[in-house]
Homo-oligomer: A and B are copies of this chain.
Amino acid sequence: MKGFTGAMGEGVRRVTIHDVAGKAGVSTAAVSHAFNDPERLRATTVTRILDAARDLGYAPNPHARALHSQRVGVLGVLFPQPIATVFANPFFASFLEGIGSVTDERGIGLLTVTPLGGSLERAIAAAPVDGFVIIGLDERHAEVAPLRKRGVPFVVVDGDAETASSVNVDDEGGAYAAANLLLEHGHRDILVLTFHAPPEELAKDLGVRGRRLRGYRRAFVDHAVALDDDAVVRTFVTLEGGDMAFAKAWAEGARPTAVLAASDIMAIGAMRAAKRLGLRIPEDLEVIGFDDIPLAAASDPALTTIHQPIADKGRVATRLLIRELDEGGPRERIVLPTELLLRESTRAASKKSRTQRVAKGGTEREGKRILKAAAH
């Protein structure tokens, strides 16, 4: 860890508990008590101390406090990618919003932790936090393992964990519903857009990518439709990635009548490419995404997609972590429901409500029930 090396701005030594004790004519212990357990002291003494503290502008040193209590009141959110890309991604924005709503109400700080000089492990070691929410990284990941050893509690989101709590959404069920919709519409030539992943995940269809792909595949099997390997394309989780992937497939002669994208942003990219090629959506091409990012509703046409409760994932994970920190609560595996959201990029099949539930999903309320049920 490099960080800063130079000297402090001004030479103003910070006022410490000793200064306050001196001014108030008491011991440092008394000052500490005045702040943390005023009952133990005579009322007059307390006010005398508090007055002195205010005059001096005293505030307890967070580092000293943390060192002693082994608690800083800060939670780390561990991302596998540079922070700039994190904040540029609306998915993470929603996720952080969920986490933030909990930390805020508990008066806890939020530290974003990203690879330090390429190494997540170093970043983890240097982070002054009480626990981690880990997103999109498997517990088995080499960089994460040391956490266990250090005894720092963590919760895994969008990943599997044996030794820690985990929060996931029903990726497979959502993917099944998405593929099922297109197959029911009669499509037989569907382009599947999925994303890049580390080799070990690819090999075993692990992680989010694997689960979604499994859902797609299961629907194809149930409809007795073959899913050609050529029809499954891996690309980047960006608008450009989706655009390129569709354009490339088209250029190579593919003529899909529908697109099944494992992420909204790729779906929107594919729509852009399709429109450029003169295709009408949904008349010539039906498109369905995954995630329901804010842009999905605003895109043209509005994107039919699988909604997943992104902010809720953050909220649930954070509550779990805090409980583990506070009470050493039990490990849990939470799976939140997903939901099919019919918008304009697919043809209306019935005159039912535009928002219909996925068979395997459920309402948000059910999601909370799942959480509660699992809590015992």
B112 touches A109 (CB 8 A): yes
Q: How far is the CA of A300 from the CA of B297 in the complex (A)?
A: 13
State the copy count for this chain: 2
8 A Cβ contacts from A48-105 to B: 57, 59-64, 66-67, 70-74, 82-84, 86-88, 90, 93-94, 96-98, 100-101, 103-104
B66 touches A2 (CB 8 A): no
B88 touches A4 (CB 8 A): no
Q: Check if A116 is an interface residue, CB within 8 A of chain B.
A: yes
Q: How far is the CA of A93 from the CA of B93 in the complex (A)?
A: 7
Q: Check if A128 is an interface residue, CB within 8 A of chain B.
A: yes
Q: How far is the CA of A67 from the CA of B163 in the complex (A)?
A: 32
Chain B, residue nearest A101 (CB): B84
B66 touches A83 (CB 8 A): no
Contact of A326 among B1, B4, B94 (CB under 8 A): B4
A83 touches B111 (CB 8 A): no
Q: Which residues on B sit within 8 Å (CB–CB) of A8?
A: 70, 151, 325, 328
Q: Check if A9 is an interface residue, CB within 8 A of chain B.
A: yes
Q: Which residues on B sit within 8 Å (CB–CB) of A87?
A: 93-94, 96-97, 100
A109 touches B113 (CB 8 A): yes
B107 touches A116 (CB 8 A): yes
Contact of A151 among B10, B93, B324 (CB under 8 A): B10
In the assembled complex, the CB of A364 is this many whole angstroms from the nearest CB of chain B, namely 17
A1-36 CB mask vs B (1 if < 8 Å, else 0) is 111111111101010000000000000000000000
Q: Check if A108 is an interface residue, CB within 8 A of chain B.
A: yes
Interface residues of A (CB under 8 A from B): 1-10, 12, 14, 57, 59-64, 66-67, 70-74, 82-84, 86-88, 90, 93-94, 96-98, 100-101, 103-104, 106-114, 116-117, 123, 125-128, 130, 146, 149-151, 153, 295, 298-300, 322, 324-328
5 other contacts beyond A4-B322, A62-B125, A110-B111, with CB at 8 A cut-off? A5-B326, A9-B328, A10-B328, A12-B151, A62-B128
